[in-house]
Structure 1
Amino acid sequence: MIKLVSENDFWGIPNWLFDIIIIVVAILAGLVLKYILMALTRYYKSRSTFSFLRSSVLHLGRPLNVFLPLVFLNITKTLMVLPPRMLAVYFKLLEIGLIVAFAYILVNLIDVFQDFVFSSYDLKKADNLRERKVRTQLQFIRKILVAVVLTLTVAAVLFSFEGMRKLGAGLLTGVGVGGIIIGFAAQRSLSNFLAGLQIAFTQPIRIDDVLVVEGEWGRVEEITLTYVVVNIWDQRRLILPINYFIEKPFQNWTRTSAEILGTVFIYADYSLPLDALRAEFDRLVSGHPLWDKKVKVVQLTDAKENVVEIRCLVSAANSGQAFDLRCFVRENLIHFIQKNYPESLPKVRASLEPIKQLPSS
């Protein structure tokens, strides 16, 4: 028996198999092209210093895994021999896929720009006030841009359907009333968003700022459009709504500069010679690498019932160094008093007198 080949078959290959071959070849061509591009730029990927090409290779690798095969599928779509209805569905899926893949590339290009800014404004500098300002604003700008890209992508996908275009035209007439209703329903979220924009540009806090908030000491690790993450000194994370920093008071130790004064309180007996303590304090601080050579003072700040309060004031370049310097000064001054003036450690004085006997009656 001789098998008849339909007029749409190619070289005796059924239409469905021909379509599968076209799809597989297009996908493989896209992946091969992506592999060639990655191979040509592999040298830049291994570099530690910033370059636009290196950052593009790192961020665009995954999006190209999707985008390039879709491009080849779009090029070869006219070769498909699907039925008209299925062909229309195939074309629509390709269109949606290309829109989403292109949006994926745009989001990662934003990350490339972010890498460039991060390389230009390094937080590791000793005086990094300007860097913290720029990075804080950049985080907000990036999130807003990503949100805009995603919104436009969803809109482009929806409006690629004829029915949605007609529906969208009808919805525009009621957008004013709808906006008011949504505004009331999402009042809290909108207030957080507006607070985020206010913080981004007025900057009461910035990335890497040192804060004392809710009784905790830590650094600002992340600022989003709705919340702030504070990395506490013991590696816990304190997460606060962003409008907290608009409505409530908090301490910012690095608002205008990272420099800070550290305080050490010593409580001793009245007999402790302050001149000797000052000389030891001056010796300890003057030779310490964490002291910034600006402030070192010993003062008698209070005289209590049993002890005197001695305040030692030192300055350092930032709060972390100030904390370490305070611990060093406190430990060594206590050791100095224990070794040289043990009788001047805090003590309780008592006077014992014999009880007089009452005369017998």
Structure 2
Amino acid sequence: MLWPLITLLATVAATLAVGWIVDQILQRISADHPEAPVWALLRRCRAPLQLTVASALLLLTSPLRRIFHLTGDEGAHHLLLLLLLASLGWLTVRVVAAVLEALLRRYETVAGDPARVQRVHTQISMLRRAVSAVIVVVTVAVMLLTFSAMRSVGASLLASAGLIGIVAGIAAQSTLGNFFAGLQIAFGDTVRIGDTVVVDGQQGTVEEITLAYLVVRLWDHRRLIVPVSYFVNKPFENWTRRDPGLLAAVLLHLDHSTPVDELRTALHTRLEQHPLWDGREWALDVTDTTPSTIVLRATMTARTPDDAARLRFDIREQLIAHLRDEHPHALPRLRTTDT
């Protein structure tokens, strides 16, 4: 009884020691090579590594059977084997995630184009989810194969695999469609994390992309959940796919007596004083006329869609205030008599 207990305590001590030693080695390498973030990220694998070491040592020594006086060790041996396989799958997922995140951080330091960084970020996120899903499926499959009942029916399952595959494909047609649509979005560069999109008339920013859906954060902080197949099968607006800059427009319905040239000068003055105008383009044009008003369109550029929206709001307010204070007759009004 004493020797199995000592073996169990030694296994726990060895597990803790291995985890601590590996963590110290990774910490030392990370300090010596700060330009390589992968070593610091691999420290997140400590928990699955310790679980893998513990299950492997318990599987080799089997002290539990002797401590609890188990007559047969098949059940305990099988349970430890399943634990070892699960911990190996968990460790593999953590290692792959650390490597991919390190690649993304390394790319962010050398890439000068924010659009390229967003594209790579989206691709690596989708790749990490796809690889993690494959690892989970393989791990579960290997765990199931350890059961004798599964091996005994293997021949019949293999014989009917074609029929099962057809039925499963039909049943999961929508899920598989979203899966492949997610891969197409990730590597087709149609939409990326951080892009400003318009979906069914609602403007928002892509916050998250998975293999099944996209999360779009709307202007009022609501989250719009959209299947990824939507972005493959239906048209949508992407305002930041190539250039995050945007042309903002303000429409004003004014009286025919409006001094357009003076208002154009006032617009330019206010744009030069506004911090959100990027200095590239601006204009003020008469785009239409009606029997009672003229339609003026003021256009201006901004660096991002959010800046464009705020710039549009501010310029509209300032132009109306200028007309109210300097030329109140230019504001449209309902005429009741001829003057």
Find out whether 1:67 has 2:52 as its counterpart.
yes
Match of 2:324 in 1: 338
Match of 1:23 in 2: 8
Match of 1:241 in 2: 227
Find out whether 1:277 has 2:273 as its counterpart.
no
| RMSD over equivalenced CA pairs, Å | 2.8
Match of 1:325 in 2: 311
Three-state SS of the structure 1 residue aligned to 2:164 is helix
After alignment, is 317-326 or 286-295 more displaced? 286-295
Task: Report the Cα distance in structure 2 between the residues aligned to 1:342 and 1:352, rounded to whole angstroms.
Answer: 18
Residues 79/234 of structure 1: CA separation in 2 closer, same or farther (3 Å cut): closer
Match of 1:9 in 2: none
Following superposition, the deviation at residue 172 of structure 1 comes to 1.4
- 2:104–2:120 Cα contact (<8 Å) kept: no
Task: Report the Cα distance in structure 2 between the residues aligned to 1:84 and 1:159, rounded to whole angstroms.
Answer: 25
Task: Report the Cα distance in structure 1 between the residues aligned to 2:84 and 2:218, rounded to whole angstroms.
Answer: 44
Following superposition, the deviation at residue 32 of structure 1 comes to 3.9
Larger-gyration structure (1/2): 1
Task: Report the Cα distance in structure 2 between the residues aligned to 1:331 and 1:19, rounded to whole angstroms.
Answer: 81
- 2:18–2:50 Cα contact (<8 Å) kept: no
Amino acid at match of 1:171: L
Residues 127/310 of structure 1: CA separation in 2 closer, same or farther (3 Å cut): farther
Task: Report the Cα distance in structure 1 between the residues aligned to 2:8 and 2:159, rounded to whole angstroms.
Answer: 43
Amino acid at match of 1:313: T
After alignment, is 75-84 or 183-192 more displaced? 75-84
Give unmatched runs, 5+ long, in structure 2. none
Residues 64/79 of structure 1: CA separation in 2 closer, same or farther (3 Å cut): same
Following superposition, the deviation at residue 78 of structure 1 comes to 7.7
TM-score norm. by structure 1 comes to 0.83
Task: Report the Cα distance in structure 2 between the residues aligned to 1:214 and 1:72, rounded to whole angstroms.
Answer: 57
- 1:27–1:72 Cα contact (<8 Å) kept: no
Count the aligned residue pairs: 335
Structure whose residues are more often helix by fraction: 2
- 1:211–1:250 Cα contact (<8 Å) kept: yes
TM-score norm. by structure 2 comes to 0.88
Residue 100 of structure 2, aligned match among 104, 111, 114: 114
Following superposition, the deviation at residue 247 of structure 1 comes to 2.2
Match of 2:187 in 1: 201
Task: Report the Cα distance in structure 2 between the residues aligned to 1:49 and 1:351, rounded to whole angstroms.
Answer: 78
Amino acid at match of 2:193: I
Amino acid at match of 1:62: A
Residue 170 of structure 1, aligned match among 156, 177, 182: 156
Match of 1:77 in 2: 62
Three-state SS of the structure 1 residue aligned to 2:153 is helix
Amino acid at match of 2:75: V
Render the CA deviation track for 1:234-291: whole Å, top value 9, x for unaligned: 1110001111122222211112221211101122221111111111111111343322
Identity, % of aligned positions: 33
Amino acid at match of 1:60: C
- 1:22–1:80 Cα contact (<8 Å) kept: no
Residues 182/74 of structure 1: CA separation in 2 closer, same or farther (3 Å cut): same
Match of 2:120 in 1: 134
Amino acid at match of 2:183: L
Find out whether 1:191 has 2:177 as its counterpart.
yes
Give the 5 Å matches for 1:20-99: 20-38=5-23, 51-57=37-43, 59-77=44-62, 81=66, 86-99=72-85
List, as ranges, runs of 4+ consecutive aligned residues in structure 1 with deviation greater than 6 Å.
47-50
Three-state SS of the structure 2 residue aligned to 1:86 is coil
Task: Report the Cα distance in structure 2 between the residues aligned to 1:286 and 1:40, rounded to whole angstroms.
Answer: 56
Amino acid at match of 1:67: T
- 1:30–1:70 Cα contact (<8 Å) kept: no
